[in-house]
Structure 1
Amino acid sequence: MTKTFDPRGIDQSWLERLQQNNEQQGYVLTECDYWQRGGEEDLAFLYSSESLTLISCSPEIRDLVAHHKPETLEQIISLTGREDLEVYIDDLDYYLTQAPVPIVARPDVEVRELTLDMHRKELQAFVECCSEDELLKADMGLDCDYFYAAYCEGQMAGLLASYCGVEPFEALSVLVKPEFRGRAVGQQLLQTLIQATTARGRIIRYRTNAENGASIRLCESMGFTQHSRIQLLARL
């Protein structure tokens, strides 16, 4: 049976990651330095869901955050009036809250599991044929634990890569070549991962850029529901 999620467990996982060990809701400004994980120009990290807003930030803006309690990092830019700040990560996290929507497999699309050890050249060739913008938007790379490739018309039409994050979650990246979009390639890749993570006893965390409409449509078509948002703020 496919694993779905308990929203309280997701929020609690983030609270523990940011060194908040008691179950909490509402607005939490932490003392930890999680905001520094991205780079020396970073100023703030924000996690928000329907019941929790969790912020870790630099001492440089801590008083402002404590006073105004911004719900998004864009609000910090507005409050400071500074033009040298940028929200450079704005991602949405989706999870399965119900049984996945079944799809009918297309006979012209074949999905195979690949490994980096056995199929490195093939995986690298797919990545190299994609544009930098597509790779960035999909957050696609080869530093992953599992790979699933969709083949159509004798070539690799799409690739899904996943990695095991904080237990029991498994995150993913998916990219389909433009000429094969609209042919349910992404859906068949995602359905394969749903089956695989069920066998592994893990839960899919589907993270996508807030502006990646194609990715959002894909996961929602399979029954995923948005639960939370991740943002990072930095100096330009």
Structure 2
Amino acid sequence: MTEPPSSRSIFTDQVYDYWQPSSDCPSSGTYRVIIDAKLPVTRSVMLLDPLGCGGFLSLVPAIAQRAGLEADSEIAASTLFEKLRLAGVELNGADYLFYVPLAEQKLLLVENFPATVRQLTPKDAAVFEAFVLTAPEVDLDEAFVELDHWLVFGYFVDERLVSVASMYVWNGTSFADLGIITLPQFRGRGFGRQTVRAIVAQALKQGLESQYRCQPDNISSARLAEASGFSLFAKWDVIKLDED
């Protein structure tokens, strides 16, 4: 991944206000400790590693006390991970967080899209069901694409739906979390990129910030994000909860 310069002017204020309300960056290789009693159980421990900056650890008071961590302190990454391990905290595994830079948003708002990509509605249930039946199971599990999401777009080839992107409003924020699936035999032809750009443009017009997440080892997904106009903002990890 190409690192953008350390600046708070690349993305919208929505991104920085949610993830990095302070412009004061921790030193590289360290984490700043933020203790927050309002964190939900699913994010009672949360690590954020913005590009061009040190990291941020947010956690609830009980776990902070157990790990011997103090608010507003800065701690070396190796020391931090050892403290979390001794406190019995296991992390779920990082995701990349992508957002569309301000400069790219301006281009998207005036881009003309082909008639082969359009918004889907409940009237498209039959073609969407046919798409789901032929999509790989692993893609359906990972991408979380649904026809009843807040916003759904699809790309058609000879009246067949071959790529679908959908968005839902994420965790009560102004972010629209995006999933995208393109049928394997239609990949590499730009259909996924067109679908993503079309849905992002529509989300922008409706006032929501598009968010693209994928695991760091999903190289093809990360490349699609960048090809579609997104830039990497940070790596993000949360506590792993017992399945029980």
Q: How far apart, in 2, do the equivalents of 1:85 and 1:37 lie?
A: 13
Q: How far apart, in 2, do the equivalents of 1:86 and 1:155 lie?
A: 44
Q: How far apart, in 2, do the equivalents of 1:37 and 1:235 lie?
A: 7
Q: 1:71 to 1:125 in 2, by over 3 A?
A: farther
User: Which amino acid in the other structure matches residue 11 of structure 1?
Assistant: Y
- Name the residue aligned to 1:91: 95
Which protein is richer in strand relative to its size?
Answer: 1
Q: How far apart, in 2, do the equivalents of 1:221 and 1:149 lie?
A: 18
Contact 1:95 1:204 in 2 (8 A): yes
User: Which amino acid in the other structure matches residue 100 of structure 2?
Assistant: L
Q: CA deviation at 1:57?
A: 4.9
Look up the SS of the partner of 2:156 in the other structure: strand
Q: 1:54 to 1:111 in 2, by over 3 A?
A: same
Q: What is the Cα-based RMSD across aligned positions, in Å?
A: 3.7
Contact 1:93 1:208 in 2 (8 A): yes
Contact 1:157 1:180 in 2 (8 A): yes
CA displacement, residues 117-163 of structure 1 (integer Å, 9 cap, x when unaligned): 32334334423433332123323334511111111244211100012
Return the match for 1:30 from 31, 35, 44.
35
- Name the residue aligned to 1:145: 150
Q: 1:158 to 1:228 in 2, by over 3 A?
A: same
Q: 1:55 to 1:90 in 2, by over 3 A?
A: same
Q: How far apart, in 2, do the equivalents of 1:23 and 1:85 lie?
A: 28
Contact 1:33 1:56 in 2 (8 A): no
Q: 1:23 to 1:232 in 2, by over 3 A?
A: same
TM-score, normalising length from structure 2?
0.70
Q: How far apart, in 2, do the equivalents of 1:32 and 1:121 lie?
A: 46
Q: How far apart, in 2, do the equivalents of 1:125 and 1:69 lie?
A: 52
Q: How far apart, in 1, do the equivalents of 2:173 and 2:64 lie?
A: 32
User: Which amino acid in the other structure matches residue 95 of structure 1?
Assistant: Y
Bigger mean CA offset, 132-141 vs 181-190: 132-141
- Name the residue aligned to 1:162: 167
Q: How far apart, in 2, do the equivalents of 1:140 and 1:86 lie?
A: 28
Q: 1:86 to 1:172 in 2, by over 3 A?
A: same
User: Which amino acid in the other structure matches residue 141 of structure 2?
Assistant: L
User: Which amino acid in the other structure matches residue 168 of structure 2?
Assistant: Y
The residue correspondences of 1:51-130 to structure 2 (distance < 5 A) are: 51=53, 52-57=55-60, 59-60=62-63, 62-64=65-67, 66=69, 69=75, 71=77, 76=81, 80=85, 87-97=91-101, 98-99=103-104, 110-115=116-121, 117-130=122-135
Contact 1:144 1:162 in 2 (8 A): yes
Q: Name stretches of at least 5 consecutive residues in structure 1 with no aligned partner.
A: 17-21
> Identity, % of aligned pairs?
19
User: Which amino acid in the other structure matches residue 47 of structure 2?
Assistant: L
Contact 1:29 1:66 in 2 (8 A): no
Look up the SS of the partner of 2:189 in the other structure: coil
Q: Does 1:207 align with 2:217?
A: no
Q: CA deviation at 1:47?
A: 2.8
Q: Does 1:222 align with 2:231?
A: no
Q: CA deviation at 1:62?
A: 4.7
- Name the residue aligned to 1:19: none
- Name the residue aligned to 2:240: 234
TM-score, normalising length from structure 1?
0.72
Which structure is richer in relative contact order (CA contacts within 8 A, separation 6 or more)?
1
Q: How far apart, in 2, do the equivalents of 1:127 and 1:57 lie?
A: 40
Contact 1:31 1:56 in 2 (8 A): yes
CA displacement, residues 73-105 of structure 1 (integer Å, 9 cap, x when unaligned): xx73796379x9754342111112222688x99
